[in-house]
Each structure stands twice: as structure tokens, then as C-alpha cells.
Amino acid sequence: MKIVVIGAGVAGLAIGWRLAEAGQDVVLLERGQPGRGATWASAGMLAVTAELQNSHAAEIEFANYSNTLWPEFAKQIEVLSGQNIGYVPHGALILAEDAPALAALERQAIQPGSTLVRADQARQIAPLVTGDIAGGLWSPHEARVDNRRLALALTAAFSKAGGRLLANEAVVRIERDDGRAAAVRTPFGLYPADAVLLAAGAWSGQVEPAVAPVTPVKGQMILLTPPPGQSPSAAVIWGNGIYAVPRGNALAIGATVEDVGFDTALTDEGRDRLRQAAEKLMPALRGWTLADHWAGLRPGSPDGLPLLGPTAIEGLWLASGQYRNGILFAPAVAETMRDQILGRAPVNPAFDPRRFAA
Ligand SMILES: Cc1cc2nc3c(=O)[nH]c(=O)nc-3n(C[C@H](O)[C@H](O)[C@H](O)COP(=O)(O)OP(=O)(O)OC[C@H]3O[C@@H](n4cnc5c(N)ncnc54)[C@H](O)[C@@H]3O)c2cc1C
């Protein structure tokens, strides 16, 4: 089957890879360079504990399933690409500032293996946390990945599996024949297809005809590097409205959540808010240097759940709306979209893009 995938973020790359591996003829069209959208801007956490505290049951199940696929997914990408993607299960510590917050964490402790810890135990895990806390929830097995290395390695894995990536090819339209998606048009050419997969992240709704009810949700992050003699702890730390993710010897702090359309401007306000919140939790960060500041657009959906499946147009599939968890979801998204397109698996009704068709 000839399959055209639109968008080379983590979703398009991973699905394209799985389809190419399954012997399909896959062309991936990317309007810029692969992996430079939200996937590049991300923090790379596989945050099954913190991100899913208040989620829909179907999303919790999907996230946990994807998390179980991650070790093998990472290994396969590394073997095929010959590149290390920095998959490390160094744990995540969610901090509570007071007793009610700690009680709430206890009620929401949904991950097996997670344990409540006292303030002194939390400080042993994360010695930089000297600000006021009541304790925390410690998930020692939670992993993270270097999302930028992941994007580069997935690009290599996709090509090694026989997929064809065309960069700097912005899709403008999906052409139909007798109502069915039959080709994809860019300024440079027309690409015939038996199936089309739209995986253009936050921009999925901009491809004509518009079938994806996706809206961009901006997130800014900053990177702090330590003075000599200091270093971050190995675990990801959550608290005071931010998270802190080790990146080499630096700490990436995220993220703002802004409803400002396709604007990706960096703001002093966003930068300062992240820095101040992190410093309240970890006062030593006042001596750290601001080394980077970036923004990306998460693909949001109207009900906050992913959009994974067929659209109202026959032959046109959608993989978007992963919002804050597109890196965590990648292995399961790749698996379900491959299996749906090849007719091997049903669509999950909670994620069916056609739920918004009316
Ligand atoms: C600040 C921030 C932090 C995050 N942290 C995490 C985290 O820790 N863990 C996690 O799991 N998730 C995280 N996320 C969310 C995650 O990054 C996204 O859910 C995920 O990257 C979405 O992947 P995608 O492939 O759908 O989109 P993208 O990575 O945005 O890729 C879409 C691609 O489509 C291309 N494209 C767009 N329009 C067209 C067109 N017309 N033609 C051709 N190509 C097109 C774009 O250029 C882009 O390369 C974070 C996001 C942000 C912004």
C-alpha cells in the first residue's frame, strides 16, 4: 500500500517507521526539517505519574500501555539508527508544599511502585530542594528520554526501514477522488496515495480540507546551567507549578501553558515566571546561569484527548491531539495507527477523530 504521511514530528516519524517496517511504501512529507516542531521543544518526560493524575480512564490506560512499550521501542530505535536516545528510568518526584497537597497526592497515587515520602526523604532524592515542602510522591521507575536525539534517531530509523522522507515540502491540500483521499499536494508536486495520514501536530487543522479540530497550546521552557561544584539530581522534579528535567549537567525548567494561537514568541514574563517558581523550590538555582529559552506548540484537542483514527474522509487518517504527552504516547500511537491503517485493529472510541465530525 502507498501511504503518504504529513508531518515529521515524533508521531509521523514513529508511525511512518512502523508502517515501513511492515513492508508498506511510505512517503513522509515535512514542511521544514524533521523533528523540529513540538517534539524538539518538549521536555522528554514519560510522565505517567504527574501528567495523568486527573485524566480520562482511556487516556490513563493508553499512557500506561505506551509506557510499557517504551523500553523495547527505545532499544529498537537505538539498534536501527546506531544512535543513543538517552532513555533513562531515573525516577520522578512530585512535591507537595503542605499537608493538604500531600494528602491529595496520596489519594491520587495511581502508579504501582510509587511511594509517599517525607520532606527529608524527598531532599535525599533531590538535594537542591531546600525550599518549604511537606513531602512528595516518588516514582523511582519513571523514565525520560532526550527528545531531540529521539527525533534524529527516529528519522534515521524511518529511512533505514525503507521510508522516504522529503523535507521542505509543505502540504497544502489533500486531493480527493470520488470522495476518497487520493493524493497529497505540495507546491512542488502531487503525491498519489492509497492512504493519507495527517500527523502535522498543532498545524494539523491547517491542511485543506480541514478535518482536524486541533488548536496550538504554547509552552515555553528555560535551561539553567550550574556554577562549578553543583549539579542537578538524576530524577525529574515536579512542584510549585513547574517541572525540572536534568539535561546533561543542566536543568530544563518547564513549562508555560498559553492559549495564544500560533505565536511562539519568547516572553520575559514566561521566562521569569518559570525561573522564580523553580528558585522558590530550589533556592540554589539563583546562582545558575540562564543558558537557553525556547517555545513550542502542543497539539490540543477540544476534549483534551488524542485524535487517533479515521476521519470523515475515507482513506484519510489522523494522529494528533497528544497535547502534553506526545513523547510518552509515541510507541502506542505508532502501534495503533499502523494496525488501524492496515485493518488489523479497531479504533478506540475515546480517541476516534470522528467524535467531533458533527
Ligand atoms: C514545552 C513543551 C514541553 C513538552 N513536554 C513533553 C514531555 O515532557 N513529555 C511528552 O510526552 N510530551 C511533551 N510535550 C508534548 C509533545 O512534545 C507533543 O505532544 C508531541 O511532540 C507532538 O508530536 P507531533 O509529531 O504530533 O507534533 P510536532 O512535533 O509538532 O510535529 C509536527 C510536524 O508537522 C510538520 N508540519 C506542520 N504542517 C505541515 C504541513 N502542512 N506539511 C508538512 N509538514 C507539516 C511540522 O513542521 C512538524 O515537524 C511537550 C510540548 C511542549 C511544547
| Shared domain check, 223 and 247 | yes
Give the pLDDT confidence of 45-82 residue by residue, as tens digits: 999 988 887 889 999 999 999 999 999 999 999 999 99
Q: How far is the CA of 325 from the centre of ligand 1 (A)?
A: 10
Expressed as residue numbers, the domain containing 285 is: 92-140+216-300
Helix (H, G, I), strand (E, B) or coil at 186: strand
pTM above 0.85, yes or no: yes
Whichever domain contains 349, its CATH number is: 3.50.50.60
Whichever domain contains 103, its CATH number is: 3.30.9.10
Residue 320 Cβ inside 6 Å of ligand 1? The answer reads yes
**Distances in Å between the alpha carbon of 39 and those of 11, 43, 150, 352?**
9, 9, 9, 23
CA distance 190 to 99: 61
Residues near 41 by Cβ (< 8 Å), separated by ≥ 6? Answer: 219, 221, 294, 295, 296, 297
| Shared domain check, 225 and 78 | no
| Shared domain check, 333 and 267 | no
Q: Is the pLDDT of residue 109 over 80?
A: no
Rg (C-alpha) for the chain, rounded Å, is 21
Q: How far is the CA of 253 from the centre of ligand 1 (A)?
A: 18
| Shared domain check, 224 and 80 | no
Looking from the CA of residue 200, the nearest atom of ligand 1 is 34
What's the rounded mean pLDDT across residues 200-223?
A: 96
Residue type, 150: L
Grid coordinates representing 78?
Answer: 537505538
Q: Is the pLDDT of residue 201 over 90?
A: yes
pLDDT higher for 106 or 343?
Answer: 343
Q: How confident is the model at residue 110 (pLDDT cuts 50, 70, 90)?
A: low
CA distance 203 to 210: 10
CA distance 311 to 292: 39
Q: Total structural domains in the chain?
A: 2
pLDDT of residue 358: 61
pLDDT of residue 135: 96
Q: Lowest mean pLDDT of 103-112, 254-263, 339-348, name the range.
A: 103-112
| Shared domain check, 100 and 74 | no
Q: How far is the CA of 141 from the centre of ligand 1 (A)?
A: 25
43 with 86: CB under 8 angstroms? no
Average pLDDT of the chain to the nearest whole number: 96
292 with 11: CB under 8 angstroms? no
Give the pLDDT confidence of 131-181 residue by residue, as tens digits: 889 999 999 999 999 999 999 999 999 999 999 999 999 999 999 999 999
Strands (E), the chain: 2-6, 25-29, 92-96, 115-118, 135-139, 164-166, 173-177, 180-186, 189-192, 195-198, 215-225, 236-239, 242-247, 250-254, 289-300, 307-310, 316-320
Helices and strands in the chain: count of H runs, count of E runs: 8, 17
Would the CA dihedral through 181, 173, 38, 52 be positive or negative? negative
Q: How far is the CA of 7 from the centre of ligand 1 (A)?
A: 9
Q: Within its chain, how far is the Cα of 297 from the centroid? A: 11
Q: How confident is the model at residue 113 (pLDDT cuts 50, 70, 90)?
A: confident
pLDDT of residue 242: 97
| Shared domain check, 222 and 210 | no
